[in-house]
Structure 1
Amino acid sequence: MQLRVLSLLLFTAVLTGCFAEAEAPSAKQPPAQPIDVAAVLYTQYSPEYTFTTRLESPQQVELRPRVSGVIESVEFREGSHVKQGDLLFRIDSRPFAAEVARLEAELDRAKAALGQAQSEAQRAQRLQGRNAMSAEQAESRLSLASQRRAELASVQAAMKAARLNLEFTEVRAPIDGQVSNAFITAGNNVQAGQSVLTSLVATDRLYAYFDVDERTWNASFSDVKADGQTQARLTLAGSARAPQTGELDFIDNQINEQTGTLRVRAVFTAKDAPLRPGAFARIQLKATDSQPTVMVPDRAVGTDLKSRFVLVVNAENVLEYRPVELGRREGTLRVVEAGLEPGERIAANGPARVGPGMPITPRNVEIEAQSLTLAEPQPKAEPSA
């Protein structure tokens, strides 16, 4: 009897221990943590490239005098915008006016001499016709008339040059644009074609030349033509203004063999924009072809010693480790080149406070598409048998 009671007590203790072991794991099971979960963004994406440049004016002039002399006055406000033909400098015109007056008198003398020579030549022809003058004398008078005609033409040419020189004492703007300061002021002597009076740049349009490496051009811009249809955006260094919009109007005819780059130009209208020649700027250019692309929030990407990864939510709402290959960053989004498929769900805030193997309670959120054009989601490929 005692043996039977002892066996019953032992059996009861064993059963109690088994039930305790069975209930222990469930007591330690943590509750599922609620986290933000989003389906990966599947979008039609055109990568945007950035190039650096300095702006150039289509027309730049170093203003030099065409005649030598003394600057009489400066007729413009330094740094102002001027129109073609506006008076900028006056050079002392008195020596040139005196030369014009001298040549006018010389011109009158030459005209009178020519008239007399022509009259004598005509009379010589009449006398020779009546055999009243020798042929030799008649030819001499005809020759003298020709000399007087050449002298008159010479004086007329000198007069034209003298009047041009007198006109050149007024130095005028050759183009529309913005003028710099006066490099030489009143009272100073200047030399024709040598002294630089000021500089003038056209500012209504500005050029931005930049170099695109051969690989990038062939991959993203091979269909671009210099017809003004491809837009480019310009941002000035340190500027908080919205980018200026221009277009490509020039593509060089060959690739530079030494650098492996192609010279390209964008043109921007600068009348109402704070653009200046020589300014440092960044040019943004979108690729012509777009591809359906998977994108995720950049904060959803984690880093370990091996690779970059995201946490994928499976059908049982358990997080799985998934290594990914990343591409360019676009704002708050990151291009995923490999590792994710359209329609898959991820932990939107990344591996903060969660990790692989953890059960979760999903809080569904949407990824902001920003200005990207969404493509139709594609079904996930079925595994081959």
Structure 2
Amino acid sequence: MKNLFWLLSIGAITILTACSTKTNTSKEKQTFKVTTPLLKDTSYTQNYVAEIHALQHVEIRSRVNGFIESQLVDEGQKVKKGQVLFSINNSQFVQNLQKAKAATQSAEAELRSAEIELEGAQQLLDKNFISQAEYNITQAKVEALKAKLQEAKAEEAQAELHLSFAQVRAPFDGFINRIPLKIGSIVEEGDLLTTISNNQEMFAYFNVSEVDYLKYIASTKEDKRTLSLILADGSRYPHQGVIETVESEFDNNTGTIAFRAKFPNPDNVLKHGATTKVQLEEQVKNAILIPQKVTFEQQEHLCVFVVDKQNRLQIRKVKPSFRLPHLIAIKEGLSPKDKILYEGLQYVKEGDTINTELVSFSQFN
């Protein structure tokens, strides 16, 4: 009976050993696809949140006291430069102007009378009928009346100016915005009547980090760089813009610097105060590209499996530069000659020796 037990035990061990050997042999014979990074010139886009500002956007305020007598435009209406927008009650200004004109006419009459007297005094002085002092007095009277006339004319001009302020006009072509005060509202000097925007062209202001700013400076050869605009609904604005200027200093609180781009706005799609995204394309020479699927994360580091000369797997930490659809550009950690594991990452571990099949990048790019 004991002999039978030992025979059965030896048979079971033999069968298990054979199965284990078969399994190891199967794993050793499994082939994994590997590839090498692609070295090529490429480009990628950077998105920045941007605020849209009109080319001109100003507040229209009352320059006189009174009440709004008429409102000649509506909110959202397009107006021309010089067009009357509001009329403020002007009866008082009309009266002031009439009074100023009357004062001017009176000063002119007094001056003409004094000039006639001066001519007579000159004749009398020539005949020694009056003294030089008397003549000088008459001459001084004429000079005083000339000054009085100038003062009257200045007051008349000021009255005309105040009267013109009662007619509120558009300072440039543009669109009228919100009108907070309606007809009949009492206004004082400085009260806001509305705002007007010139939307023919629009500015996009966006902030760029110091790193991206230095990249921009290094890659910019032409005077102005073009860029695209992504609207709030995700659609692309049909017109390209250009970067016009960069501010002269960084914001110490955010570590960014402001850029300003200009976009044409022929269809009046862009509005002052809108929030969009600008998309700036960056050109990169000799970028090292790998498929995204070959990467994995280990302790918050991006890693790949690198195959050495003995076909042994090593984990390599890499630093990405930017991402493209299905691809990652590597800044540090890989060279174009490195072989990286393309498939089967979940079946292997560091230190495994595998059979490899080199796959060209073009087969999956």
User: Which amino acid is the alignment partner of residue 254 of structure 1?
Assistant: E
* Partner of residue 204, structure 2: 208
Is residue 121 from structure 1 mapped to residue 114 from structure 2 by the alignment? Answer: no
Deviation at residue 120 of structure 1 after TM alignment: 0.8
User: Which amino acid is the alignment partner of residue 169 of structure 1?
Assistant: A
For the aligned residue pairs, the C-alpha RMSD in angstroms reads: 3.7
* Partner of residue 245, structure 1: 240
* Partner of residue 29, structure 1: 26
Is residue 323 from structure 1 mapped to residue 316 from structure 2 by the alignment? Answer: yes
> What is the distance in 2 between the residues matched to 1:111 and 1:45?
81
Q: Which structure shows the bigger proportion of residues in strand conformation? A: 2
* Partner of residue 196, structure 1: 192
> What is the distance in 1 between the residues matched to 2:220 and 2:332?
32
Say how many residue pairs are matched. Answer: 346
Structure 1 residues 273 and 157, CA gap change in structure 2 (3 angstroms): closer
- Match of 2:242, SS? strand
* Partner of residue 366, structure 1: 362
Deviation at residue 65 of structure 1 after TM alignment: 1.7
Structure 1 residues 202 and 82, CA gap change in structure 2 (3 angstroms): same
Structure 1 residues 73 and 314, CA gap change in structure 2 (3 angstroms): same
> What is the distance in 2 between the residues matched to 1:226 and 1:97?
62
* Partner of residue 5, structure 2: none
Of residues 275-284 and 118-127 in structure 1, the stretch that sits farther from structure 2 once superposed is 275-284
Structure 1 residues 259 and 161, CA gap change in structure 2 (3 angstroms): same
* Partner of residue 56, structure 1: 53
> What is the distance in 2 between the residues matched to 1:74 and 1:206?
28
* Structure 2 unpaired stretches of 5+: 1-13
Deviation at residue 74 of structure 1 after TM alignment: 0.8
Is residue 232 from structure 1 mapped to residue 227 from structure 2 by the alignment? Answer: yes
- CA distances 1:288-329 after superposition (whole Å, capped 9, x unpaired): 6x331221221232345695444568999x895553404022
* Partner of residue 262, structure 1: 257
- Match of 1:204, SS? strand
What is the identity percentage for the equivalent residue pairs of Structure 1 and Structure 2? 25
2:290 to 292, 296, 301: 296
TM-score normalised according to structure 2 size:
0.78
Deviation at residue 25 of structure 1 after TM alignment: 4.0
Structure 1 residues 302 and 353, CA gap change in structure 2 (3 angstroms): same
Q: Does structure 2 conserve the Cα–Cα contact (< 8 Å) formed by 1:209 and 1:263?
A: yes
> What is the distance in 2 between the residues matched to 1:368 and 1:63?
61
Q: Does structure 2 conserve the Cα–Cα contact (< 8 Å) formed by 1:226 and 1:248?
A: no
2:74 to 73, 77, 94: 77
* Partner of residue 217, structure 1: 213
Q: Does structure 1 conserve the Cα–Cα contact (< 8 Å) formed by 2:39 and 2:288?
A: yes
> What is the distance in 2 between the residues matched to 1:319 and 1:244?
53
> What is the distance in 1 between the residues matched to 2:23 and 2:325?
44
Q: Which structure shows the bigger proportion of residues in helix conformation? A: 2
> What is the distance in 2 between the residues matched to 1:173 and 1:367?
64
Map of 1:82-161 to 2, 5 A cutoff? 82-161=79-158
Of residues 115-124 and 351-360 in structure 1, the stretch that sits farther from structure 2 once superposed is 351-360
> What is the distance in 2 between the residues matched to 1:226 and 1:93?
59
* Partner of residue 351, structure 1: 345
Deviation at residue 56 of structure 1 after TM alignment: 2.6
Is residue 175 from structure 1 mapped to residue 168 from structure 2 by the alignment? Answer: no
Structure 1 residues 350 and 332, CA gap change in structure 2 (3 angstroms): farther
User: Which amino acid is the alignment partner of residue 282 of structure 1?
Assistant: K
* Partner of residue 8, structure 1: none
- CA distances 1:176-217 after superposition (whole Å, capped 9, x unpaired): 32211222111122112x211011222222323333333443
Is residue 280 from structure 1 mapped to residue 272 from structure 2 by the alignment? Answer: no
> What is the distance in 2 between the residues matched to 1:295 and 1:314?
19
- CA distances 1:88-108 after superposition (whole Å, capped 9, x unpaired): 111122222222222222222
> What is the distance in 2 between the residues matched to 1:147 and 1:306?
91
Q: Does structure 1 conserve the Cα–Cα contact (< 8 Å) formed by 2:32 and 2:344?
A: no
* Structure 1 unpaired stretches of 5+: 1-16, 370-385
Q: Does structure 2 conserve the Cα–Cα contact (< 8 Å) formed by 1:38 and 1:366?
A: no
